[in-house]
Structure 1
Amino acid sequence: MAIRILSVDDELDMETLITQLFRKQIREKKYEFIFANNGIEALDKLDEVGEVDLILSDINMPGMDGLTLLAKINEKNKPYLKAIMVSAYGDMDNIRTAMNRGAFDFITKPVNFEDLEITINKTVEHIEMLSSLEQGRLQLMALQNDLNVAKEIQLSMLPKTVPPAFAEVGVDLHAFIHPAKVVGGDLFDYHIMDAERVFFMIGDVSDKGIPAALFMAITKAIFKSQFCNKIQDTLCEKVNIINAFLSEDNSSFMFVTAWIGILNIKTGVVEYVDAGHEPPVIIRADGSVELVKKHGGMALCIDGDFDYTSQTLTLSAGDRLVLYTDGVTDANNLSGERYGLNLLQEFYAQRNFSTAQEINEATLATLIQFMGAASQFDDITMLTLGYTGTV
């Protein structure tokens, strides 16, 4: 769009001179000039034409002088509107007053038209720079708003509360995501499958930001569709189906680490598939801490034909199984130290916990304390399952 310039001068030949001087810019629609003979007429023009980018105004004019016009313009609170003031060479007091009132630059009379052109072009460059910065600021605000909406959508897809039925079947479960500054790819889910089985899982999509969040949404949906249906596939068969689906047309080459478990609430046996995820921690009822051994297992979406196998572990009454994403163990402080798995196990060994929620909240608190002023670069996600063995 053309830069709109309002020229205010009581010398009638100024319009002709400016039109001639800037004829090329006017013809190319770079500049558009509007003319007024004094401050009063200039204000009327502003109301008539709307937005103006630059005002070129004489100071000494009848009716309303340039200084009064400048004050009136300031009242309109248009920070991107710039003014160039024109006055006699010896009129430095008025020029200084104009600059103090916010004029961007000035020209002295008799007008040197080469200097006028340079001054206007310089001012226009400044206006265009401000406009570009403002557009960038608005784009960043829009992007931040989109990220906030995406984060809300992402979090809304995850279970927010644990139904009372879990406690009724002898399961104390709590899960949370403590998001980083941008949307990410962590996920978890849980539900009661039938009278004997509880499904639970945690996952982490590779990469960060909106692509990871979109892939997380797809992963969450396919897990839900598989583990909430009535088809009696085995755990491994369901994971194989999910892996094949997610691997198909995976042009982004993203992958998902996951730990998927089914607890038999009568026996305490957990059948699980480890798809390249962080090893869970078991806090036994007597306070001892164990790390679930790794038995291989590839992350989802790397090989659509990979045949997953399951393992089992057994929880006794009072045991807790702690699942987490690498946002927990990879948390860093300002010194670059990593929290790590050893500190996590030591923390659990030194504390007594009453509930799954207490474990999660205490872990988050110690991580925040460990990170200190360092920024959180990854989501911190946990799912802790306590087996009461009361069924």
Structure 2
Amino acid sequence: MSAASEPAARHDRDALVRFAAALFAAAGMEAGKAATVADILVEADMMGHDTHGLGLAARYLDEIAAGHLATTGEPGVVSDRGACVAWDGRRLPGPWLVTKAIDLALERVGQYGMVAVAIGNAHHMACLAAYPRRVAERGLVLTMATSAPGVATVAPFGGTRGALSPAPIAAGFPTGGTPGGDPVLIDISGSITTNNMAARLAREGRRYDRPWLMDAEGNATDDPNVLTQGGTVLPAGGLDHGQKGYGWGLLSEALSQGMSGLGRAEKPAGMTNAAFIQVFDPAAFGGLDAFTRQTATITANCLASPPRAGGGKVRLPGQSGLRKREQALREGVALRAGILDSLRPWAEKLGVPMP
């Protein structure tokens, strides 16, 4: 996106997690929930996803103060058939709910082979890229379909009025044969860009490098300000092939909201999320060795593809994030300028020392 950003300062990972957890706890969030939310936000920054890392913490604190983010309690169990579970998230912290759902699936997947947990009426779930690694590193497969039923910023293909959320989809699976044994970690959305990125660019007075939005009249534009003027985000594929992003946006919303039974029909407002989370054990199918034999071949073929002129070598989804994470563990977490400053007023108000 236009204009270079300032170099990011680096900070100790554990200090950032303790700081964020202390802020959430001081705002009334139960300690275990606060620690999980802090861990997921910092994990996002470690992997380079700084629109969905600690940059969200001030918004979460605003939501707690407004009574929109629940800080105590447990999800309501809508149904539980062992391998199939549905929860009412009761506006509890999204990162905590997703982590709890994955933990439940990990406990049960050895028995059932695959476990699905649907969560509706949750608060914001942060960066999806922060979740698949620990599942894939155990030789298991994770898929996630999520949506924000209180948001309608993405236009259906051929339309000019927003009807869908960006509807992110994430997945992780082991390969066994990539350099270093890297798993594939996928985090994509049904939209061509995200609401958080558009908001950041608008705040910074910047524009997109390409016309990824539409104004209210249906003209493609690179101006992020159109989202506050009746404009919309284009589905992935844009004006030419947006039926692709439109299709998977519909699927993600149907799985997350439909399977949980809580979504747009209830007309929620604000940072409400829904998710459909699946964990698969390859041992229940052809076996883990057979699985990684295939995924190693598939990914090796991708990595062996000659790069386009002027471009870097081909990478697998998630490899860049994993290298950034390793660097963050060695050298500190790179935080974009302004993120800690956005939390300073909350730290002073809540009596939490800055890191």
More strand by share: 1
User: Greater CA radius of gyration, 1 or 2?
Assistant: 1
Fold-level similarity (TM above 0.5): no
TM-score by length of 2: 0.28
